[in-house]
Structure 1
């Protein structure tokens, strides 16, 4: 113990001598050359981040209801907004992000951001922009099958993002996730495309079934709660995905709805208020690689039809249970999830060419496309 006490004054004495020395710390004052490829993406990000917003699902209540809510629920009064037009209060109950996809006020976000545990409880959202503006938003449509929703605000000349072609992404491409994680404010993280076409995913650590139509982009760009609905952009600042979920039991495993799928859903919602999907009346399953090759699928990829509804377009066109579908309109089919996505994207009123294998013989069958009944 005494040795320790003796050492301390010595250390203090030495430190005082060091502090008295006059030295000049070296500084490199050269400017960052952001024109060199890969050095910085600051200019691109400063251009695109204003198009990313915070989206809060809100309850619209009167003064008495607000008082009752405050007694039973923790409400941050700083987040409550009074609407002078309706003389009601907007009370936020969920937080996420969104992306302006058109200058006239159309905003892309997740279905799970604008619903309460999947249930529609309000058609109102509070939208906050990076310049501090708060605007009331109306939820135009929400699709649980893809986890995509569209919110509309009354504004013009808004900053917005253009869609890129997410089908052109490759594993290893640089991407950036933009959103409002944990309500800390607009934030950017970076990573790469780690995988493509991910499906059969569960949300909330396996407690919640994922959307029916899954074609997720996997990314190493960190995504956190509150990022949902935010933008996944490429190095040109194009919207290639919408941040949606993370693997709670892993690190650096995030998922985004691909931009092409989100655009398809948003276009339909804006035009019709709901999603128009193609329908031919089939169900199916994946085929193991070895079996697919044995049955004649040269690339080892196909989807097997397990049901063909009597009277449906597929039935009338001649498709049968057991047929292996290898391509639709020339697009190679990797499995049943792939085929479902392709069929859903076919335009009702048109015809599609299905390449099939039946008894080791290849055939081309033209199938008329109907609109999938709503609710199915």
Structure 2
């Protein structure tokens, strides 16, 4: 199966052309080699890249995006593409269409933005995932997906970098960013390295930067996908407190002190029932010193549902312990990766 390149490749080739000329290299041979290598990757991953369309239940508008085959009967995409959607249609590159009647279930995790579509019967070709240690700033990425106007797959070249966005949730790793001239971005568009391994899925654009795409890393997709395949959902621990400690999106602006200051207590939560009050400073949990909110949030989120955690509090200069039962949160967060949501 062969695919055509869009104008982004031509623009990129024109930018690097002077380098080849100055170095005494043959313009034609190097461009032909680059084109051949890109075709090779597209031929390799093409059968695993799918187009996804869905109807928004709220306003009836059409949502179009992409996804990849994670396993023979599981398709990986982003939760923001499937949110409030129905009438799903999945189209493979050979023209095969999969509709709602062939979908067994859909598993979504709002916090990490990972979604899995389980097919009733499938024998699709899965992608290979790149390992986290293979990705560094400057890694070249091939953005391969579908657009509103394209016939078949489109490709753009970009460079991958790291960011400080995300990483609050224990299952969520910090997002990658890709700089590329790819104006027709779609949610779930996969980014591959030159070995045809998945680096991640596009989930949104950086505000004010049309050429910078936020990317859900393959390592997050792998961890969350494994849990969703097994359990259908991720259950996070919750005790019902808020902290005004907050957390800046930029690490250099974070202030990690000692403990977590309680700014609000949910009256329906287990912490309130055990006497935790506004103004308390949580300085320990199960014998471990708490340095900051991010650490404490991850400890509670990963605690088994129904278990108890022993909190060490400081109140008006006095230390005390509270044994608090871990429950599941009754309310979904309004904003994804929100640093100020209830713990």
Is 2:50 aligned against 1:53?
A: yes
Count of paired positions: 290
Aligned pairs (5 A) from 1:230-269: 230-247=189-206, 249-269=208-228
User: Aligned with 2:63: secondary structure?
Assistant: strand
Query: In 1, distance between residues paired with 2:239 and 2:330?
Result: 11
Query: Cα 1:145–1:32, aligned 2, differ >3 Å: closer, same or farther?
Result: same
Is 2:60 aligned against 1:100?
A: no
**Structure 1: where are the runs of 5+ without partners?**
1-25, 61-90, 201-212, 297-301, 360-364
Q: Which residue of 2 aligns with 1:158?
A: 124
Aligned pairs (5 A) from 1:206-355: 215-225=174-184, 227-247=186-206, 249-284=208-243, 285-286=245-246, 292=255, 295=257, 305-307=262-264, 321=279, 323=281, 336=294, 340=297, 343-344=300-301, 347-348=304-305
TM-score, normalised to structure 2, is 0.61
**Structure 2: where are the runs of 5+ without partners?**
1-25, 317-321, 334-343
Query: In 1, distance between residues paired with 2:175 and 2:142?
Result: 16
Query: Cα 1:353–1:183, aligned 2, differ >3 Å: closer, same or farther?
Result: farther
Q: Is contact 1:286-1:304 (8 Å) kept? A: no
Is 2:130 aligned against 1:130?
A: no
Query: Cα 1:31–1:261, aligned 2, differ >3 Å: closer, same or farther?
Result: closer
Higher gyration radius (CA): 1
Return the offset for 1:96.
Answer: 1.0
Return the offset for 1:100.
Answer: 1.1
Query: Cα 1:141–1:292, aligned 2, differ >3 Å: closer, same or farther?
Result: closer
* Coordinate RMSD, CA, aligned: 5.0
Query: Cα 1:222–1:287, aligned 2, differ >3 Å: closer, same or farther?
Result: same
Q: Which residue of 1 aligns with 2:14?
A: none
Query: In 1, distance between residues paired with 2:311 and 2:129?
Result: 29
Choose which of 165, 173, 191 in structure 1 pairs with 2:158. 191
Query: In 1, distance between residues paired with 2:217 and 2:241?
Result: 25
Q: Which residue of 1 aligns with 2:8?
A: none
Query: Cα 1:162–1:322, aligned 2, differ >3 Å: closer, same or farther?
Result: farther
Is 2:72 aligned against 1:109?
A: no
User: Aligned with 1:276: secondary structure?
Assistant: coil
Q: Is contact 1:53-1:129 (8 Å) kept? A: yes
**Which protein, 1 or 2, shows the higher relative CO under an 8 Å CA cutoff with sep ≥ 6?**
2
Q: Which residue of 1 aligns with 2:12?
A: none
Return the offset for 1:280.
Answer: 3.5
Q: Which residue of 2 aligns with 1:8?
A: none
Is 2:143 aligned against 1:177?
A: yes
Query: In 1, distance between residues paired with 2:282 and 2:96?
Result: 54
